[in-house]
Amino acid sequence: MKNYITHDEWCIVENGFHPEHNEITESLMSLGNGRMGGRGNFEEKYSGKTLQGNYVAGVWFPDKTRVGWWKNGYPNYFAKVINACNWTGIDVEIEGEIIDLNTAKVHEFTRTLDMRTGVLERNCTIELSSGKTLKIHSQRFLSLVDDESGVIKYSITPLNFLGSAKVTVSLDGDVSNKDSNHGEKFWNEISKETGHGEGYLTLETKKSVWETVPTFQVCTGMKFDVYQAGEKIDCQTFPIKKEKYVANEFKINLEEGQEVSIIKFAANLSSENHSIAALGENTKAYVEKVAKKGFDAMLAEQKAAWAKKWEGNDIQIEGDVAAQQAIRFNIFQLQQTYTGEDARLNIGPKGFTGEKYGGVTYWDTEAYCLPFYLSTSEQKVARNLLVYRHNHLQKAIENAEKLGFFGGAALYPMVTMNGEECHNEWEITFEEIHRNGAIAYAIFDYIRYTGDSQYLAEYGLEVLTGISRFWAQRVNWSADKAKYVMLGVTGPNEYENNVNNNWYTNYLAVWCLKYTLESFESLKAQDQSRFDEIIGITSLDYSAETQKWQHIIENMYFPYDETRKVFLQQDGFLDKELLTVEDIASQRPINQKWSWDRILRSCFIKQADVLQGMYFFEEDFTVEELRRNFDFYEPMTVHESSLSPCVHVIQAAKLGIKEKAYEMYVRTARLDLDDYNNDTEDGLHITSMAGTWMSVVKGFGGLRVKNDKLSFEPFLPEQWQGFSFRTGFRGNSLNISIKGNTIEIENIFGNEISVLVYGKEVVVAKNSSTSVTY
């Protein structure tokens, strides 16, 4: 655990340079605007520890799958979001010495990410080996408004000398991915061009051996101006062209105490959004447009755009600056990762903050991220996350066919970029099929929240049908049990592999069949022709198929312990030695200290599994049932997935186990800021940040939707004086404040609304607020 980030309500601040943590800081200071993003690398050369990273959303490379022993059914490639052209470079050489914070003496240093505005700023004073001392001040942001562009204002001020500087402003496409096979680079150069104070570089991803996978072109452009003492000046620039690299170099005279600034406007346009023929021209026009707008105007727009986001987003925590900073950091990162403008994009586990896990989509999106966007963003944002999966339905059907399923059965991939499976561990790729259920559940969750039941007819039911067909084939009849069973699965708890009858997966499958059947019936009543269209995907006879589904619904096997009256995570769970986390305190984390087989045969749980199911379907269970299962499983849960604690916060909150809820919350909130798991240097845990948000809003706030109404069952952690959060709901925008035993509901926008507080209906008039003491 690290503790070098200054606690501040709105900013992430590194006070004093910590080169030993530089890769962590680079992750924490990442910027994004949904369309592009990158790590908080320095603009100028840095020879110390650094992980360069710039990413263009939707641009990836199919890197050959690497395995020890090939298993039938493995995918051919792993889609990776790739490190793209570094557009941030501004190198400065002062009389033979290149500015490099790794070699210079750093006298003063602050690096600040202002979450109110999405601006990364650095102020430092350094001394070169010649004794020359200068100030560097840089500001950088990725525009939310012009979301294919970024801008930098980079200034130096000589403090004790006059002389000259050589400045190189570059676009560098000669980059690689840290985790590529054999260090292979993924880009080819297509063209490059330089002009006076400008440069353009078009790169194309390498043609892969997988012929169906497209290549992508990205044109990166830049234009820069130079200012001295606040005046724009005209410097003679010299073009430099190298393989996959263009730059402009110029010399400038430095006066002691006089600031020299370079304002660099850059844009990344990709062939995902522009025709290849027009890519170069469009990039030039784009750079021209933003340069014309100018730094100050862009910054003003940026501030306004972020302010608007925060209006619908913010969570305030009173009396705990560290918690306040953490929750805002999580919200900020989620918002800059996915803006919901483009249904072809999704949320990678590291967002734009690193390349680990390939930037691909997991079930995290549906199970953890969706509720965040439902509450905090326009409806279309969550809807686009759902449409993303609808767009991949055909690929999911093909994926299922590869594994022997038929008749339109769909298995969504564990990890994907374009709908094709990319994971390559059999126990996950082929067996962690509960992801299919989470995708179905998200449709239900979205409609429950938004009331947009039209989505079902338009898109949702096609997805549900494919998924239900999968479940109906994936179970088999056990003559021995005289029940349907589901063999060979891996549940959310990945510390069990290839188990039979994972309770969570079985429950999800049956729920899914039921929900699909109900949705069929309601659609049939409303829109016979659309119903016919969906059913008609295959020639299977509707009534035979749905009778089979009904039979499964009525005859599914669920492992259960009659003695303890708890659901069993899977068959044979009680054969394990039932220890608790306290018994193995010194041996944690077990994923670092134990061999894999030992983990597998232990009772220890990586992340909520039965409890995850009871969270999804809480209305099916009594509080006493929940308590028995929580008391049984919670002591065995090691939470070695960052996605685990949030569910425990929500369940503990519901059960009134306040200390446990808070303890779990703390574990997730500052995961990256304090580098709990020693891996923030690889990038941030973006999807688990949504879990942190859920911990506050669904856990402490107790937010649910019940019978088309928002419902709250809040409790205030003792460590806080109060907290408040914003949430949207069907045209209303509410601010919810909890203080003591009182909840105040402010109806900021929208008509009168009726909500539930601990089950009691509360009406809040338009533009007014109501307090309820519970």
Binding residues for a copy of itself, per CB under 8 A?
65-69, 71-73, 182, 402-404, 424-427, 430-431, 476-481, 485, 487-488, 497-498, 500, 571-572, 574-578, 591-601
- Phi and psi (nearest 5°) for 252? -145, 140
Assign 377 to helix, strand or coil.
coil
CB-based contacts of 189: which residues, under 8 Å, 6+ apart?
173, 201, 202, 203, 204, 243, 244
Strands 566-567 and 560-561: antiparallel
DSSP labels for 578-646? ---GGGGGGG-SHHHHS-HHHHHHSS-BSS-SHHHHHHHTGGGS-HHHHHHHHHHHGGGB---STTSHH
| Residue 415 Cβ vs a copy of itself, minimum distance, rounded to whole Å | 12
Which one, 66 or 232, has the nearer CB to a copy of itself? 66
Alpha carbons 283 and 271: distance in angstroms, whole number: 11
Catalytic residue among 431, 462, 494, 681: 494
Examine the residue annotation and report whether 494 is marked as an active-site residue of this protein.
Answer: yes
185 in a known ligand binding site: no
**What are residue 237's phi and psi, to 5 degrees?**
-110, 145
CA distances 511 to 91, 181, 506, Å, are 59, 41, 9
- What's 349's DSSP letter? T
* Tokens coding 122: 């650095």
User: What is the helix (H) or strand (E) element at residue 310, kind and residue range?
Assistant: helix 295-313
Q: Which is nearer to a copy of itself, 155 or 478 (CB)?
A: 478
> In terms of CB distance, is 594 or 720 closer to a copy of itself?
594
- From the number of C-beta atoms within 10 Å of its C-beta (0-12, 13-18, 19+), residue 209 rates as exposed
Q: Which two tokens stand for residue 106?
A: 């750093």
Q: Is the CB of residue 298 less than 8 Å from the CB of residue 288?
A: no
C-beta of residue 621 within 8 angstroms of C-beta of residue 614:
yes
**Between 182 and 622, CB nearer to a copy of itself:** 182
CA distance 729 to 749: 10
C-beta closer to a copy of itself: residue 78 or 455: 78
Question: What's the CA gap between 163 and 717, in Å, rounded?
Answer: 59
Answer yes or no: is 606 a known binding residue.
yes
Beta carbon of residue 164, minimum distance to a copy of itself (angstroms, whole number): 47
Contact between 377 and 312 (Cβ < 8 Å): yes
Residue 428 beta carbon to a copy of itself: minimum distance, rounded to whole angstroms? 9
Q: Do the beta carbons of residue 559 and residue 570 sit within 8 Å?
A: yes
> Nearer Cβ to a copy of itself, position 184 or 296?
184
Type and span of the H or E element at 306 = helix 295-313
Q: Which helix (H) or strand (E) holds 556?
A: none
Cβ nearer to a copy of itself, comparing 455 with 495 = 495
Omega of the bond prior to 589 within 30 degrees of 0, cis? yes
Q: Measured from the CB atom, is 107 or 481 closer to a copy of itself?
A: 481
Q: How far from the centroid of its chain's Cα atoms is residue 217's Cα?
A: 24
Determine the Cα–Cα distance for residues 356 and 349; give it in Å rounded to an integer: 8
Q: How far is the CB of 490 from a copy of itself (least distance, A)?
A: 10
CA distances from 715 to 241, 719, 741, 756 (A): 61, 12, 8, 15
CB of residue 606 vs a copy of itself: minimum separation in angstroms? 13
CB-based burial of residue 346 (10 Å sphere; 0-12 exposed, 13-18 middle, 19+ buried)? Answer: buried
* CA neighbor of 286 nearest in space, from 270, 263, 305, 304: 270
Choice between 267 and 603, CB closer to a copy of itself: 603
Q: Enter the DSSP assignment of 39.
A: -
Q: Determine whether the annotation assigns residue 607 to a binding site.
A: yes
Residue 273 region by backbone torsions, left for phi larger than 0, else alpha for psi between -120 and 50, else beta: alpha
Smallest separation (angstroms) from a copy of itself to the CB of 66: 6
Q: Which two tokens stand for residue 649?
A: 């916060």
Closest approach of a copy of itself to the CB of residue 722, in Å: 44
Q: Is 583 annotated as a binding residue?
A: no
Which is nearer to a copy of itself, 204 or 682 (by Cβ)? Answer: 682
574/755 Cα distance (integer angstroms): 43
Least distance in angstroms from the C-beta of 179 to a copy of itself = 12
For the CB of residue 399, give the shortest distance to a copy of itself in the complex, in Å.
10
> At its nearest, how many Å lie between a copy of itself and the CB of residue 567?
15
Binding-site sequence positions? 363-364, 606-607
Catalytic residues: 494
Binding-site sequence positions for substrate? 363-364, 606-607
